[in-house]
Amino acid sequence: MKPPYFFGERIGHADVAVACVLRLTGEAHPALFAAARYPALTAHAVRCEALLLFMEIRAAACVAERRLS
């Protein structure tokens, strides 16, 4: 069975970096990344973003954005 993250059973820098890059690219330049063309990479980022830590960071970022506007 394939491990859930790039380098094994624990999330690492590469996993976080890919998830963040795909999030940023999708929000800032949606035409640059065709998610359907890279289903495994997209699924990996979705799995990472489903982690509680990612959700907490995203929620905090949304709060900060509202305060600035």
Residue 69 scores a pLDDT above 90: no
Among residues 57, 18, 20, 60, the alpha carbon closest in space to that of 40 is found at: 18
Extract the tokens encoding 43.
């699924």
Rounded to 5 degrees, φ, ψ at 22 are -65, -35
Provide the whole-model pTM.
Answer: 0.82
> Based on the structure, what is the number of domains in the chain?
1
Report pLDDT digits (tens) over 19-57: 999 999 999 999 999 999 999 999 999 999 999 999 999
Quote the pLDDT of residue 32: 94
Q: Which residues contact 12 (CB under 8 A, 6 or more apart)?
A: 5, 6
Q: Which domain holds residue 54?
A: 13-68
Quote the pLDDT of residue 40: 94
Is 8 a member of any domain?
Answer: no
Is 4 a member of any domain?
Answer: no
Quote the pLDDT of residue 21: 95
Is 1 a member of any domain?
Answer: no
Name the one residue in this structure whose structure tokens are 């394939």. 2
Quote the pLDDT of residue 47: 95
